[in-house]
A and B are shown apart, each in its own frame.
Chain A
Amino acid sequence: MSEILIIGAGPAGLSGAIACAQHGLKVTIIDEFIKPGGRLLGQLHQEPSGEWWNGMKEAEKLINETKTLPIDIRCGVSVYNIERHDADWYVYTNEGVFESPYVLIATGAAEYAIPVPGWTLPGVMSIGASQVMTNVHRVQVGKKGIIIGANVLAFAILNELQMAGINIERVVLPAESPISKKESNPEEVLKILTEAGHLAPSALLRNGSKLMKIDSLRRMALKYFPKGGMKINGTPLQLKKAAIEIVGNEKVEGVKLATIDSQGNIISGTEKLYEADFVCIAGGLYPLAELAAVAGCPFKYIPQLGGHVPIHSKNMETPIPGMFVAGNITGIESGKIAMAQGTVAGLAIAMASQSNAKIDEQLQQALQKVEEVRTKSPIQFIPEIAEGRLAMERVWEKESNRGELERVIF
């Protein structure tokens, strides 16, 4: 039995493990994937400073550090239930039941799907799937691709695909449907893109992003948006084209696109079939939080964090005794933030098990580090992320004022 069980060996889980193992706690990390590192493994981009963020190397560094500490990493382990009895957590997996007084849930995020007719055809995948196939498994996803959905994640991964020599023909929007909301509206998409910083397509959006925050200018930019699209390192971003159907017999053969107006309405008679052998759907990310729900943790819906998130304090504790959270499960941000939050959670757990002034000092520094990383971040997946974090702080305050008695209900 370990003293802390961490679910998820990504940036948050690994950093959390290192932080509490440095204070002598015995840690077990479990993860479903074939190797540790989580979504760090696929990340590869150049920062505005010119420095490269090579997630594979970052993961390696963390994994090497865990080897010097009492940390056991178990891959290929899937969790299907979690329960608390007396003072211990029981985590049910395909490899048996893990028992531990503390649990850190660092399960990361999942991708929102944007169902488009024909999206179950082989060759259609989430944008994240193409990243993993390219940078982790090093297998080409196809010869001619179309990305449906224009957001920060899509552009980051488009860049990675281009680096690996994968040909993306165009980036288009999903046609309007009850599920695709903002993603189908060129005006809304342009608003989001102005927050994409150096990842934004073309110098006009990058340098003009401050101007583009002005509504009237944005509308004008859209009116004169080139029909063929705006090139992103060779790939046209077509804000006025929407995917209405993915077609193919047995596998993807092409995508039917239509021209749309600046509100996303389809202009009839403009449908045309474009050839492709793979399609990536980019719907954005949401916190992968089912396990916290199964454990009975209360949730709050905060759109600025990416959706429903388990209620948690700045120290990453939840209202449930012995349960902590860190990383994208608490809100959609970069891997760097996940690492910083993991350290906070690890130290908070160390504090909970053996409170002392030295750990507390480190915890305060780690909390500061989270803020620092966020302020320095050149891009944000969700522009209003700081508001989202504040909203959660207020929720936590209320939660802690509710008193122990009421909390027992959970």
Chain B
Amino acid sequence: MTRIVHHPILGSLNNRQKFSFVFNGQELEAYENETIAAALLANGIRTLRHHEESGSPRGFYCNIGHCMECRLTVNEQANVRACLTTVKPNMAVQSGKQHPNIVKRMVEENE
């Protein structure tokens, strides 16, 4: 995705500080005072996590902290909402992964 640098009413965005942060081991570019969700989308990343149980891919849904769909691990802190957290230089961000479900696997094997 790209950024909306020029806007007919809101004006242009210039002279914003750029820095890098890390998402799943990959170095990406972000701008100061933007959320992790915005920085990732600007880098073309929509999938923020995989559902703990089903493993289905998830992105941000509400973008204002209500739905909890965008939770990530940030600097080793789990369950941080990407839409409410300002990205910082060198921040280490990790997407959520599907959890092993031993009981479910056992049931499946015995079916």
Contact = CB atoms under 8 A, between A and B. Distances in A.
Interface in A108-160: 110-111, 113, 120-126, 128-130, 132-135, 137-142
Contact of B4 (A113, A128, A139): A139
Contacts of A56: 10
A54 B4 CA distance: 17
Contact of B1 (A52, A113, A140): A140
Contacts of A34: 33, 35, 84-86
A47 to B, nearest CB: 13
Contact of B61 (A76, A126, A141, A163): A126
B36 to A, nearest CB: 10
Nearest to A52: B9
A331 B66 CA distance: 18
Contacts of A164: 4, 7
A76 B74 CA distance: 15
B78 interface: no
A140 B4 CA distance: 6
Interface stretch (B18-26, B42-50, B102-110): B42-50
A252 to B, nearest CB: 8
Interface in A74-103: 76, 78
Contacts of A123: 46, 59
Contact of A125 (B1, B56, B61, B85): B61
B64 A129 contact: yes
Interface in B23-75: 33-35, 37-38, 41-42, 46-48, 51, 56-67, 69
Majority-rule SS of B interface residues: loop
A170 B75 CA distance: 40
B7 A138 contact: yes
Chain B: number of interface residues, binned into ranges: 35 or more
A226 interface: no
Nearest to A119: B61
Contacts of B35: 34, 137
A393 interface: no
Chain A: number of interface residues, binned into ranges: 35 or more
B9 to A, nearest CB: 6
B84 A122 contact: no
Most buried by B among A44, A54, A140: A140
A251 B57 contact: yes
Nearest to A111: B62
Interface of A: 32-35, 39, 44, 52, 54, 56, 76, 78, 110-111, 113, 120-126, 128-130, 132-135, 137-142, 163-165, 250-251, 288
Given A125-B59, A138-B3, 18 more contacts: A32-B65, A32-B84, A33-B65, A35-B33, A39-B64, A78-B65, A122-B46, A122-B47, A122-B48, A122-B57, A126-B62, A128-B62, A128-B64, A129-B60, A132-B63, A133-B38, A139-B1, A140-B1
Closest 8 CB pairs of A and B: A122-B59, A129-B63, A137-B38, A122-B46, A138-B4, A139-B42, A122-B47, A132-B63
Interface of B: 1-5, 7-10, 13, 33-35, 37-38, 41-42, 46-48, 51, 56-67, 69, 83-86
29 contacts: A32-B84, A34-B85, A35-B33, A52-B9, A76-B84, A76-B86, A110-B62, A110-B66, A120-B51, A121-B57, A124-B59, A124-B61, A125-B62, A126-B61, A128-B62, A129-B61, A129-B83, A130-B63, A133-B38, A137-B35, A138-B5, A138-B7, A138-B13, A139-B38, A139-B42, A140-B2, A141-B41, A164-B4, A165-B4
